[in-house]
Amino acid sequence: MEIKAKELSKVYGSGESRIVAVDKVDLEIAANDFISIMGPSGSGKSTLLHLLSGLDKPTSGSLTYDGKDIYGFADRELSAFRRQRIGFIFQQFNLLPVLTAKENIIMPLLLDKKQPDEAYLKLLTELLGISERLTHLPHELSGGQQQRVAIARALIAQPDIVFADEPTGNLDSKSGGEVMDMLRDIWHRTGKTLVIITHDNRIAKMAERQFVIMDGVLSEVTAR
């Protein structure tokens, strides 16, 4: 899937309190791209991720997925599009505490009344090293294991693109490194688009295309 953002901007407030959180961002993301967007706190990373993934609407500018203007979708159409085509990984894992690891992983499919492809589920959980942990509740797992469950959940519907917002932000450097190695391995094997938001330079450097955002202005660091 090809994603094109043109002059994407998000402005909060007005007058004295006016903030340009995302400032005329032009970005083309190709299928199979592995992108990192690095910037300090308050630079506009989360806002840009929300715009790119259709969680939030821009003040101006356009965003297309394979030529389709996703902000032109009706709300229900956009939610279904996000559930089926986009995977999200969050800093806080966002697992449901009363469900087992497996139930958490397949939840996005159940919401669409679909059954998991057991072979794909097995492959994913083996790649992530959690196949022996599927009947455990989140609190019985380490932070790194919880994030790996969340990654399996993000991938179970076989989305075209995965957005990860500070995926290692709550992990120590060892388990954070393991999670990143696994994400990169899965990216290689599945050929999905991966966009990672981070303030950590070591994580940003793992991506093939590296961007920096400062005061809402996005620049590509890698030569193309």
Give the footprint of ligand ADP on this chain (CB under 6 A): 12-13, 19, 21, 39, 41-47, 55, 88, 90-92, 94, 165
Output 33 or 166, the one with its CB closest to ligand ADP. Answer: 166
Give the strand pairing for 60-65 and 3-12: antiparallel
Amino acid at 71: Y
Nearest 5°: the CA angle 91, 78, 212 is 45
Output 19 or 134, the one with its CB closest to ligand ADP. Answer: 19
State the nearest-atom distance from the C-beta of 91 to ligand ADP, in Å. 5
Residue 68's H or E segment, with its range, is strand 68-69
State the nearest-atom distance from the C-beta of 132 to ligand ADP, in Å. 26
Output 88 or 211, the one with its CB closest to ligand ADP. Answer: 88
CA 199 vs CA 21, 37, 150, 212: distances in Å: 16, 8, 20, 10
Output 81 or 123, the one with its CB closest to ligand ADP. Answer: 81
- 3-state class (DSSP) for residue 139: helix
Angstrom distance (rounded) from CA 151 to CA 129: 11
Angstrom distance (rounded) from CA 209 to CA 33: 7
State the nearest-atom distance from the C-beta of 56 to ligand ADP, in Å. 9
The first and second tokens of residue 132, run together, are 């022996």
Output 59 or 222, the one with its CB closest to ligand ADP. Answer: 59
The first and second tokens of residue 143, run together, are 């932070």
State the nearest-atom distance from the C-beta of 50 to ligand ADP, in Å. 7
CA 108 vs CA 54, 92, 127, 183, 219: distances in Å: 17, 17, 20, 19, 34
Angstrom distance (rounded) from CA 104 to CA 153: 7
CA 46 vs CA 8, 16, 82, 110: distances in Å: 14, 22, 17, 28
State the nearest-atom distance from the C-beta of 106 to ligand ADP, in Å. 14
Output 30 or 111, the one with its CB closest to ligand ADP. Answer: 111
Output 14 or 115, the one with its CB closest to ligand ADP. Answer: 14
